[in-house]
Structure 1
Amino acid sequence: MTTPNPLPTSLDAGQTAARLPYPQLVTELTRLLKDESVRVPQRVVQALPGGGSLFVMPALDARTAITKLITLTPANAGTGLPAIQGDVVVFDVITGRRRLMLDGPTVTARRTAAVSLLAAQKLAPNTRGPMLVVGAGVQGLAHLEAFAEGLGVRDFRITSRSHASAQALAWHAETLGLNARVVPDADVALADCPLAAICTPAGGVVLSALPRDDGFISAVGAFTPTMVELSAALCQYVAAQGDVFVDTADAVHEAGDLLQAGLDVARFATLGDVIRQDMKKPAGPVLFKSCGWAGWDLAAARAAG
């Protein structure tokens, strides 16, 4: 009698993605935000020679401990090398045994898009679309797929500093049976789009137009005080006329868009507040600022098994 082959302990990008379907990820994110055993130490970000950064991001619950080890190298843009590289190592808390090693960039892309999706499901006044995607890289692709799968959005507008990348994402969307077209100006397109995901390297403002009254914007690119994607006026407008939410309390010192707009980030509710308090959807425009958190990687590890 032969013994069945054990599940692989080291998963490549495709195997990692297969373990992380968006509906399952959203379910696990929701469970994690209600799990009182979760602990997430502050992440370490170490500058590297040449302008890159090394991220060390641990997290644990009563059964699982993880550490995400990734490098972010913005200079790789346009070279054929990925900007994000690394792994998520998953351990059993009781035995200390390594259970899995997941592809770090795939986890980062999918859990980030899933967090935006969960926020939109809970907070967006209008989830029908069209949806504007600013930035046609890995995060732009992940957000397009997540919102199509999780909210049923069928119509997308795509803009990027690289027209070729934007066109490639639009063609990909069409292979999924979606409607997508490249637009030259994000500010103009926002008037027709109640949903928007801003997914750029956050090297400068890419969106200045004010959102619709039923608008929802998820901004995921800026995760340090010096990074920015949104104009100060946009952030200030939503804070005054609508509602701003952040992914975690760490945004107090990480949310560059909000900090550079002079806003008191500590007063904004987190996604955990929304889930645990079962908050009702706001009536006006919503800005969701996501900075990243190892807890999201822990949720992905739990979903992956």
Structure 2
Amino acid sequence: MLVLNEAETRAALPWNALIESLRVMFRDGCEMPVRHHHDVAVPGEAAATLLLMPAWQPGSYIGVKMVSVFPGNTDRGLPAIHGSYLLSSGKTGQLLAILDGAELTARRTAAASALAADYLAAKDAQRMLMVGAGRLSQNLIEAHASVRPLKEVSIWARDPRKAAATVAEIKIPGVTVSVATDIEAAARDADIISCATLSSEPLIRGDWLKEGAHLDLVGAFKPSMRESDDRAVERATLFVDTREGALSEGGDLVQPLRAGLIKAGDLRADLGELASGRHAGRTQVNEITLFKSVGAALEDLAGAILAFETVRG
């Protein structure tokens, strides 16, 4: 059985190969039950949460991501979230590999956004604004740089020190990375804007988006959370990773949907429809596109299969 730690999981998931693996998985599909959420009592502390996200390809592979969230760990100096991915044979059930769940999640999430950008962002996109400076930000920048000819990337965060720290970590040949101090000015100039925050209030205004811009919304994974305003949704052509997930969990679409500003039918396509060619993606040079993702178990499965087959040869 193969066991990959964080660094080994990262090394086994190079961007170009991972993006193509997601493209194939979204095109061909797999069995993907609804994710499981379970409350777990912790005596004397706040309850923990156990998340189980299964997916499989009949006769090929079976995978499940297991994530635990223990709020009390902050008082113990431990991470609140732990995760592992278990990959098994779809023919025998034999356990084949255990991967670092957090690293797998970070890379497949960024790869899904880059896959969407490959269909939706302008072909000559050179300037990117990254909103948020958490773990996902570096992954998102690197992934987008693998599908578009980026030359300038600016990072905005509520805490400029965190943005500066992330800037210092990113080394992409031919790409200049800097801290953005004025989010509006940076957004108005950006060809691609990617947001990965836990914001409950809009950070990006639709009136800031220039013609031809692509807005990638990765954070705000609960209906109560939001990274863009109503104007952004009204101006943009809307795309999602999965319709069911985005329309039930992503506040950027759920809130305007509930307010009657948009309808479910306004979503032009999901990643499956883009990857299969049923929708062409961007159709006009001046079109503003918006992609909302909340994650899907098939992304984890695609990444785990790639990592296993890469390492095992």
The bucket for the TM-score relative to the shorter chain is 0.7 to 0.9
Counterpart-to-counterpart distance in 2, 1:23 and 1:137: 22
Aligned residue for 2:52?
56
Q: 2:192 aligns with which of 186, 189, 195?
A: 195
Distance change in 2, residues 1:147/1:285 (3 Å): same
Structure 2 stretches lacking a partner, 5+ long: none
Query: Is the counterpart of residue 24 in structure 1 residue 17 in structure 2?
Result: yes
Q: 1:94 aligns with which of 91, 95, 105?
A: 91
Bigger mean CA deviation after superposition, 64-73 or 289-298? 64-73
Q: What SS class does the counterpart of residue 158 from structure 2 fall into?
A: coil
Contact map agreement 1:121 1:127 (CA 8 A) in 2 = no
Bigger mean CA deviation after superposition, 11-20 or 186-195? 186-195
Q: What SS class does the counterpart of residue 45 from structure 1 fall into?
A: strand
Letter of the structure 2 residue corresponding to residue 217 of structure 1:
L
- Cα displacement (A) at 1:295: 0.7
Aligned residue for 1:272?
272
- Cα displacement (A) at 1:58: 0.4
- Cα displacement (A) at 1:88: 0.8
Number of residues of Structure 1 aligned to a counterpart in Structure 2: 293
Counterpart-to-counterpart distance in 2, 1:265 and 1:28: 28
Contact map agreement 1:232 1:261 (CA 8 A) in 2 = yes
Structure 1 stretches lacking a partner, 5+ long: 1-7
Contact map agreement 1:126 1:214 (CA 8 A) in 2 = no
Aligned residue for 2:301?
298
Aligned residue for 2:218?
220
Aligned residue for 1:10?
3
Query: Is the counterpart of residue 41 in structure 1 residue 39 in structure 2?
Result: no
Distance change in 2, residues 1:189/1:52 (3 Å): farther
Query: Is the counterpart of residue 229 in structure 1 residue 227 in structure 2?
Result: yes
Contact map agreement 1:126 1:195 (CA 8 A) in 2 = no
Query: Is the counterpart of residue 107 in structure 1 residue 110 in structure 2?
Result: no
Counterpart-to-counterpart distance in 2, 1:75 and 1:23: 38
Letter of the structure 2 residue corresponding to residue 113 of structure 1:
A
Distance change in 2, residues 1:237/1:273 (3 Å): same
Q: What SS class does the counterpart of residue 66 from structure 1 fall into?
A: strand
Distance change in 2, residues 1:53/1:129 (3 Å): farther
Letter of the structure 2 residue corresponding to residue 22 of structure 1:
W
Query: Is the counterpart of residue 260 in structure 1 residue 255 in structure 2?
Result: yes
Q: What SS class does the counterpart of residue 96 from structure 1 fall into?
A: coil
Letter of the structure 1 residue corresponding to residue 51 of structure 2:
F
Contact map agreement 2:167 2:178 (CA 8 A) in 1 = yes
Bigger mean CA deviation after superposition, 158-167 or 249-258? 249-258
TM-score (norm 2): 0.86
Distance change in 2, residues 1:297/1:274 (3 Å): same
Counterpart-to-counterpart distance in 2, 1:233 and 1:281: 19
TM-score (norm 1): 0.88
Aligned residue for 1:128?
125
Counterpart-to-counterpart distance in 1, 2:118 and 2:110: 12
Contact map agreement 2:238 2:266 (CA 8 A) in 1 = no
Counterpart-to-counterpart distance in 2, 1:292 and 1:124: 20
Counterpart-to-counterpart distance in 2, 1:148 and 1:76: 36
Q: 2:242 aligns with which of 248, 251, 257?
A: 248
Letter of the structure 2 residue corresponding to residue 58 of structure 1:
P
% identity of equivalent residues: 31
Distance change in 2, residues 1:58/1:197 (3 Å): same
Contact map agreement 2:15 2:146 (CA 8 A) in 1 = yes
Counterpart-to-counterpart distance in 1, 2:181 and 2:71: 24
Letter of the structure 2 residue corresponding to residue 229 of structure 1:
E
Bigger mean CA deviation after superposition, 266-275 or 173-182? 173-182
Counterpart-to-counterpart distance in 2, 1:198 and 1:52: 28
Counterpart-to-counterpart distance in 2, 1:200 and 1:166: 13
- Cα displacement (A) at 1:72: 4.8
Contact map agreement 1:111 1:297 (CA 8 A) in 2 = yes
Cα deviation 1:157-204 (Å, max 9, x = unaligned) = 100112111001111224766311111232221111010110112333
Distance change in 2, residues 1:50/1:180 (3 Å): farther
Cα deviation 1:184-236 (Å, max 9, x = unaligned) = 23222111101011011233322224311110011011222222111122222
* Aligned alpha-carbon RMSD (Å): 2.5
Distance change in 2, residues 1:67/1:281 (3 Å): same
Distance change in 2, residues 1:80/1:180 (3 Å): farther
Q: What SS class does the counterpart of residue 150 from structure 1 fall into?
A: coil
Q: What SS class does the counterpart of residue 153 from structure 2 fall into?
A: strand
- Cα displacement (A) at 1:84: 4.0
Q: What SS class does the counterpart of residue 292 from structure 1 fall into?
A: coil
- Cα displacement (A) at 1:112: 0.5
